[in-house]
Amino acid sequence: MKYVFLFCGTAADQAAFDALTPDELRQRYSQVGRWFAENQARLGHGNQLQGPDTATTIRFQADGKPVVKDGLFVEGKEIVGGYTEVEVANLDEALAMAKSWPGRGTLEIRPVIEQR
Amino acid sequence: MRSAPTPAATALAEVFREEAGRITATLIRRFGDFDLAEECAQDALVAAMESWPREGTPARPGAWLLTVASRRALNRIERDKRYDRKLAEVALEPRRDEEDDRLRLILTCCHPALSREAQVGLTLRAVCGFTTAEIARAFVASEATVAQRLVRAKRKIALAGIPYRAPSGAELAERMGEVLAVLYLFFNEGHLSTHGTAAFQRDLAEDATWLAALLSRLLPDEPEVLGLLALMKLHLARSDSRFTESGELVLLADQDRARWDATLIAEAITLIERAARLGRPGPYQLEAAITACHAEAPSFEATDWLQIVVLYDMLLALAPSPIVRLNRAIALWKVEGSAPALHELEAIAPMLDGYHLFHAAHAELLNDLGRREQARAAQRRALDLTENFSERSLLEQRLFR
């Protein structure tokens, strides 16, 4: 099964991250690096995203006309900060992998519609 | 008060719950498709409900149900033109231990990636052999709503890749937490509710106890399963004395202890001791031990309150909650008197301000200490909340709404 992990967080998560000392930050990055290394065989394409203030939204009106606006498409609490594809046997394996994620915040797991 | 189901309905319910889980598990094993297996097992139960009262119960009801369910499954597969592929799987699949399969079934139905109401619905249908109509009746919901939730849940199992497996070790212990919560929810729905009056209504409390007993055989070394089973037996032992003839609640202090079922209480205590020997205490074991202290006491006054305070302390260390602190404060009152209990109670006041029993206990303690005016205010607050509470809790506890 193929899944996408969406790494999300709230403004409070971001503030907690910004408050890390340089030492804690180094430690966090090394834990995250280790997680990616350990799971390399199961990971597909993925990226970390620039912050929400760099987002641009295009909303299509009922008549199909696109309207461009600055910012996120919803001012929700959770902001997607990155994503990665994951290839594992089933949801239990995906959950085990997600639970070992050393970052904080929220992780959403979505199955991918696979083209056969 | 609940009116008793007819003997025929009880016999049918017993056959269904013995066979439903086995048949669903067998079909999943044969066809590798949870949704198909669950639907066809359900079809067979519905067919039995129609034909058995008319034509008599077959000599081997399990074999009858399995034959009908298998035939349905094959028909559907043929219709879906997946016949060849599935037939090959049927031939290759080795037979496995049946009991083991029911454990896998229960764990899959109670997977943490499913909502609690989906877990409840799936477990009742696939494991206990409830029909959708029976689930709807038990939870006072419409049949269409329940059916829709079940469809959505099975869609999620298939699309999200929820596996049909029983984990082991730490993962099993974690997953058991979900299963036990579902069972206790069934039990409480059956035990505490007063809406079960239809003669054909299945007794959820009895089904929950049956399921806990099954789990205790499948997982004899899981102490929390034993603890939950003991807790259920202790509640059942006292259920007849909990209500008056006219259906009013009788408080523990006023219950006629001679009417408590001594056999069930003894069985529960044996289970608690067996669980304790496994050396892994948990919330259900502690709840059961506390309830056993009450069940063993010759009177309300002669209850071993000190032991209860100690058990609540252990429970708080494992699963802290303001309600547990309230119960501990009441036990502390019996051990150390009103002043220390009041001190405890006031510490949790902000968390329980909307809970009528908090204010009722507060009123009693204040009264005990001669603070009559404050006691009257607390009593008023308790009464105000009680009216809303009984209505609200009925609404809030209804799943599928």
- The distance of B161 to chain A (nearest Cα, Å) reads 5
| B186, B205, B227 - which closes a domain | B186
**Chain A touched by B58 (CB under 8 Å):** no
Domain contains B289: no
- The answer to whether A92 contacts B165, with C-beta atoms less than 8 Å apart, is yes
Which DSSP category does A80 fall into?
A: E
Please report the pLDDT score of residue B86 as a whole number: 56
| B139, B159, B186 - which closes a domain | B186
Average pLDDT of every residue of chain B:
86
Mean pLDDT on B316-336: 94
| Residues B128 and B1 grouped into a single domain | yes
Domain contains A116: no
Contact criterion met (CB below 8 Å) for B122 and B113: no
CA distances for B69 relative to B63, B153, B231, angstroms = 10, 21, 36
Range of the domain at B357: 304-401
Nearest residue, CB atoms, A111 vs list B159, B165, B171: B159
Domain contains B287: no
Please report the pLDDT score of residue B268 as a whole number: 98
Q: What is the ipTM of this complex?
A: 0.83
Q: Is the pLDDT of residue B327 over 70?
A: yes
Domain contains B176: yes
Question: CATH number, domain at A19?
Answer: 3.30.70.1060
Task: With cut-offs at 50, 70 and 90, classify the pLDDT of residue B177.
Answer: very high
Domain contains B254: no
**Percent of chain B clearing pLDDT 70 (strictly above):** 86
Q: Which residue of B has its CA nearest to A3?
A: B160
Task: With cut-offs at 50, 70 and 90, classify the pLDDT of residue B81.
Answer: low
Query: What is the Cα–Cα distance from B188 to B200, expressed in whole angstroms?
Result: 19
Contact criterion met (CB below 8 Å) for B149 and B117: yes
Please report the pLDDT score of residue B332 as a whole number: 96
**Percent of chain A clearing pLDDT 70 (strictly above):** 97
Task: Report pLDDT digits (tens) over B135-155.
Answer: 988 888 899 999 999 999 999
| B186, B207, B230 - which closes a domain | B186
Residues of chain A in contact with residue B163, where contact means CB-CB under 8 angstroms, are 89-92
Q: Number of structural domains, chain B?
A: 2
Domain contains B292: no
Domain contains B21: yes
Domain contains A87: yes
Retrieve residue B137's tokens. Answer: 């009746």
Q: Is the pLDDT of residue B96 over 50?
A: no
| Residues B177 and B35 grouped into a single domain | yes
Domain contains A14: yes
Q: Which of residues 102-121 of B touch A (CB under 8 A)?
A: 111-113
Task: Report pLDDT digits (tens) over B197-219.
Answer: 444 457 788 889 999 999 999 89
Q: Which residue of A has its CA nearest to B108?
A: A92
CA distances for A48 relative to A8, A10, A17, B83, B235, angstroms = 11, 16, 15, 45, 54
Q: Tokens 């477990």 identify what position?
A: B123
Pick the closest to residue B25 from B74, B96, B118, B117 (CA basis): B96
Question: CATH number, domain at B375?
Answer: 1.25.40.10
Q: Is the pLDDT of residue A4 over 80?
A: yes
Query: What is the Cα–Cα distance from B15 to B18, expressed in whole angstroms?
Result: 5
At residue B61, the 3 state secondary structure works out as helix
Retrieve residue A23's tokens. Answer: 């030492």
Please report the pLDDT score of residue A69 as a whole number: 84
**Chain A touched by B392 (CB under 8 Å):** no
| Residues B166 and B20 grouped into a single domain | yes
Which DSSP category does B278 fall into?
A: T
Domain contains A7: yes
Domain contains A81: yes
- The answer to whether A1 contacts B161, with C-beta atoms less than 8 Å apart, is yes
- The distance of B396 to chain A (nearest Cα, Å) reads 26
Q: Is the pLDDT of residue B292 over 60?
A: yes
| Residues B321 and B174 grouped into a single domain | no
Q: Number of structural domains, chain A?
A: 1
Nearest residue, CB atoms, B113 vs list A89, A91, A96: A91
Q: Which residue of B has its CA nearest to A88?
A: B161
Task: Report pLDDT digits (tens) over B333-383.
Answer: 999 999 999 999 999 999 999 888 899 899 999 999 999 999 999 988 888
Which DSSP category does B126 fall into?
A: I
What are residue A113's phi and psi, to 5 degrees? -75, 115
Range of the domain at A48: 2-111
- The distance of B160 to chain A (nearest Cα, Å) reads 5
Substitution target in A91, A95, A110 with the highest count of B β-carbons within 10 Å is A91
Domain contains B232: no
Q: What is the pTM of this model?
A: 0.82
Mean pLDDT on A84-107: 94
Residues of chain B in contact with residue A1, where contact means CB-CB under 8 angstroms, are 161
Please report the pLDDT score of residue A98 as a whole number: 96
**Chain A touched by B159 (CB under 8 Å):** yes
**Percent of chain B clearing pLDDT 90 (strictly above):** 61
Three-state SS string over chain B comes to CCCCCCHHHHHHHHHHHHHHHHHHHHHHHHHCCHHHHHHHHHHHHHHHHHHHHHHCCCCCHHHHHHHHHHHHHHHHHHHCCCHHHHHHHHHHCCCCCHHHHHHHHHHHHCCCCCCHHHHHHHHHHHHCCCCHHHHHHHCCCCHHHHHHHHHHHHHHHHHHCCCCCCCCHHHHHHHHHHHHHHHHHHHHHHHHCCCCCCCCCCCHHHHHHHHHHHHHHHCCCCHHHHHHHHHHHHHHHCHHHCECCCCCECCHHHCCHHHCCHHHHHHHHHHHHHHHHCCCCCHHHHHHHHHHHHHHCCCCCCCCHHHHHHHHHHHHHHCCCHHHHHHHHHHHHHHHCHHHHHHHHHHHHHHHCCCHHHHHHHHHHHHHCCCHHHHHHHHHHHHHHHHHHHHHHHHHHCCCC
Task: With cut-offs at 50, 70 and 90, classify the pLDDT of residue B239.
Answer: confident
Which has more confidence, B86 or B20? B20
Q: If you compute the radius of gyration of chain B from its CA atoms, what whole number of angstroms results?
A: 24
Contact criterion met (CB below 8 Å) for B212 and B229: yes
Task: With cut-offs at 50, 70 and 90, classify the pLDDT of residue A13.
Answer: confident
Pick the closest to residue B226 from B297, B287, B165 (CA basis): B287
